Amino acid sequence: MPRYRASSNQFRGLKKAILHRKNSLFYKTQNGAQVGDLFMSLIHTCELYGANPLDYLTALQKHSAELFRNPSDWMPWNYGERLRRASASRDSGETTLPGV
């Protein structure tokens, strides 16, 4: 039987899944469980791409109008660039985000 070696990243991902499964025993409703799943997925995706999950979720709340207009610009792997462009447009006096 062949042996497989798992990397530390694989173990970390598994650890998060196991922890989430353990914590999900305490959701009171199906909707609560779905919301918890959504947030766990977002948090883990942020961590995989090197983004701070709290900063990311805060940015989504602060820029909700722009998020609804162009959600693909607000993914964990590219929202930093979008924030920089929003900041630059604010500094130059523009009232809307470029490209929106």
What span, in angstroms and rounded, lies between the C-alpha atoms of 97 and 20? 37
Q: What is the dihedral of CA 31, 35, 41, 43, to 10 degrees?
A: -160
User: Domain-by-domain residue ranges, the chain?
Assistant: 10-48, 53-100
Q: Tokens for 52?
A: 């701070």
Tens digit of each residue's pLDDT (9 = 90 or more) over 52-66: 999 999 999 999 999
Q: Tokens for 44?
A: 């883990």
pLDDT at 90: 75
Report field, pTM of the whole predicted structure over 0.85: no
- In this structure, are residues 82 and 74 in contact, taking their beta carbons and an 8 Å threshold? yes
